[in-house]
Each structure stands twice: as C-alpha cells, then as structure tokens.
Homo-oligomer: A and B are copies of this chain.
Amino acid sequence: MTVTIKLGQLAEFLGATLRGDPEKDITGLATLQEAGPAQLSFLANPQYRKYLASSQAAALLLKPADAEGFAGDALLVPDPYAAYARVSHLFDPKPVAVAGIHPTAVIAADAFVDPAANVGAFAVIESGAHIAAGTTVGAHCFIGARSVIGEGGWLAPRVTLYHDVRIGKRVVIQSGAVLGGEGFGFANVKGTWQKIAQVGGVLIGDDVEIGVNTAVDRGALADTILGNGVKLDNQIQIAHNVQVGDHTAMAACVGISGSTKIGKHCMLAGGVGLVGHIEVCDNVFITGMTMVTHSITEPGAYSSGTAMQPAAEWRKSAARLRQLDDIARRLRQLEKQVGEVTPDGNASSDG
C-alpha cells in the first residue's frame, strides 16, 4: 500500500518553510540511515546529526539551525519530532473503516450506534450501550451493557468492555485490552475468600490510548478513572479504584494496585509496580522496574532495584547484601574502637 504526497503539500500541511522542489513525490517515512530517495526523514535527536550528510532521504524535517548540515531538500519546522508525528498519519497503512455495521454484528435492540460509526464482524453490543459518530468498533469487540464510547474513538479488533464503562472522545484501544473487569476484591472469612461484587464502573477521559492486553478493572464502589490524555502501553494492570491524572504516560508491564492515585504529567517506565492506597504527586518520573511502596509527595525522579552484574559477581553482592546490617554494626563498633585510640576521630552519628 503506497501513498504519494508532494513535498509542497507536506510543507503546507505542516506550515513548514520549504527548501527544495515542491513537486517531489514522497511515498513514505524512514530513519535518516534507512530512508531512500522517495522517503521523508527527520532529525530530532542531536546524536543522529552525524547521519545528516550521508542520508539518502528525499527530504528532511529539520530545525532551521540544523539546515546547514544537510544539502538536500528540507522542511524547516520548530519541532521536527512533533512535525514527524503529524505527517506520520498521512502515510499510515492502517485500513480505514467505512461507516456502517457488519451484517454479522449482534447489537441489542436498545443499544445506540451512530450512523457515522463503524462496527466490525462478530462484534457484540449490549443493551443500552452508546457508540458515537466517527467511532470504529473492531471485529470481535464486546461492548457491555450501558457502556459509552465517545466521538472519534478507535477500538482495534478484540477489545472487551464490560458493562458501565464510559469512554471519552478520540480514545484508542488496542487488541486484547479489557476495561471493566471485576477487580480483585475478596473478604477473608475464616481462611476462605468471599467475593465482593464490584459495583463501580470505569471512567476514561478524552484522547486516552490503551495498549495491547492492558487491563483496567472496574471500581469496587466508585469508578476507576483515567484522566484526559493518559497513555497506557501494553500489558499494564490498573486495579480497581485507581485514579490516573491527565497526560500521565505509562510504559509496558506497569502494575498499579487498588485505590492508588497518580498525579498529572507523570511518567512510569516499564515494569514499575505501585502498592495500593498511596498517592503520587504531579510531575513524577519513575525509572524502570521500580517498586513504589509509599506515597511520593515531591516531583522528581525515583528508582529502586540493583544494577546488573555478571552473574558470578552478582551472587557475591547478593550474599553480602544479606550481611549488610551486620556490616553496618561492625563498622559502628570499629568507629568506636578507633575513636578511643585516636580521640580526634570523626565518626558518623548513625549506625
């Protein structure tokens, strides 16, 4: 599948300053090193400036300050990466769904599907659900009772919404994601676990993206909430009654335990885990695989874990770590002894 767009059209679309031939045909996007003579590329990371001179790209998205380093055609823009993000959609080979309902879909008599929505093969839409205009419901999707999907949404094939899941506008959900599953709510009664019905729902803001096989559980009592502009990568677990603030992004394999609140504009790297019932303030960055066991009240970067070592050295470190309390006590003891010998000793006060 090939799209062809003229360089001049791209300049106009972006409001960019064109340097070069407006009639040149652009058929796709590629990196500086891989782009061929009909492909557009970009320079966003200064580390890649070294590839400018040798790039075979048809044209580049460049900051004006970088334009000197490239002799070929260019589109000059203030933020090449943002410009790349915008033009990328023009070359997206993703099939576009046409409005209409596939004849195999099973739709409850009292569900509403806007005539300008698309519903794929074998989709199931239950009683009282509402699908707004411009929304795509992929094949094999299940939309539970009374669930609502706002305008311009895109659900990949095989997305499951339980009942009472309310989703804002322009929300993208990848395959295998499950919204509204029954959270892990059990009361321990004499050693056995009694299930607690999860009577809350899920509330998703506008412009949210939810990745492949990610799970967002319904609330136990009130709703589980994702704010506007939240981006969740693949394989994420959001437990019941979690609240995620606007424009917070989480990389893959993050797990958030029940009732934890995360602020706005946070970034959680891959594999991070948060215990339940804590709060993370706005503008926090948590590095990969960190275990967050208490609330974070100051913006900034946080980490846990240990650095990778060759396994033989790691075994020594791990063994020594178990002796660390003993090591600290012995150091304190030694400081006292040496302090007695050398009375000007300046031992630390803790130990």
Which A residues fall within an 8 A CB radius of B?
1, 28-31, 34, 79, 81-82, 84-86, 88-89, 91-95, 102, 104, 106, 120-122, 124, 126-127, 138-140, 142, 144-146, 156-158, 160, 162-164, 172, 174-176, 178, 181-182, 184-187, 189, 191-199, 207, 209, 211-213, 215, 217, 221-222, 229, 231, 233-235, 237, 239, 247, 249, 251-253, 255, 257, 265, 269-271, 273, 275, 285, 287-294, 300-328, 330-331, 333-335, 337-338, 340-342, 345-348, 350-351
Contact = CB atoms under 8 A, between A and B. Distances in A.
A344 B66 CA distance: 60
Given A192-B247, A217-B234, A233-B184, A335 B330 contact: yes
Nearest to A180: B175
A288 B318 CA distance: 14
A3 B39 CA distance: 58
A325 B323 CA distance: 10
Contacts of A91: 197, 199
B303 A308 contact: yes
A287 B255 CA distance: 14
A288 to B, nearest CB: 6
A89 to B, nearest CB: 5
- Of residues A146, A160, A275, which shows the largest number of chain B Cβ atoms within 10 Å of its Cβ? A160
Given A181-B212, A317-B325, A334-B334, 12 more contacts: A29-B221, A31-B222, A88-B196, A91-B199, A95-B144, A142-B158, A212-B215, A215-B252, A237-B253, A293-B307, A320-B328, A327-B328
A325 B328 CA distance: 11
For A89, A187, A305, A335, the residue with the greatest tally of chain B CB atoms inside 10 Å of its CB is: A305
B322 A317 contact: yes
A24 to B, nearest CB: 19
A37 B247 CA distance: 35
A291 B308 contact: yes
A303 to B, nearest CB: 4
B124 A140 contact: yes
Contacts of A321: 306-307, 317, 321, 324
B271 A234 contact: no
A193 B275 contact: no
A139 B192 CA distance: 30
Contacts of A175: 142, 160, 162, 178, 181
Contacts of A207: 192
A269 B314 CA distance: 16
Contacts of A160: 156-158, 175-176
A322 B320 CA distance: 10
A309 B334 contact: no
Contacts of A189: 79, 82, 85
A69 to B, nearest CB: 21
B291 A213 contact: no
B187 A81 contact: yes
Given A145-B95, A306-B318, A181 B162 contact: no
A150 to B, nearest CB: 16
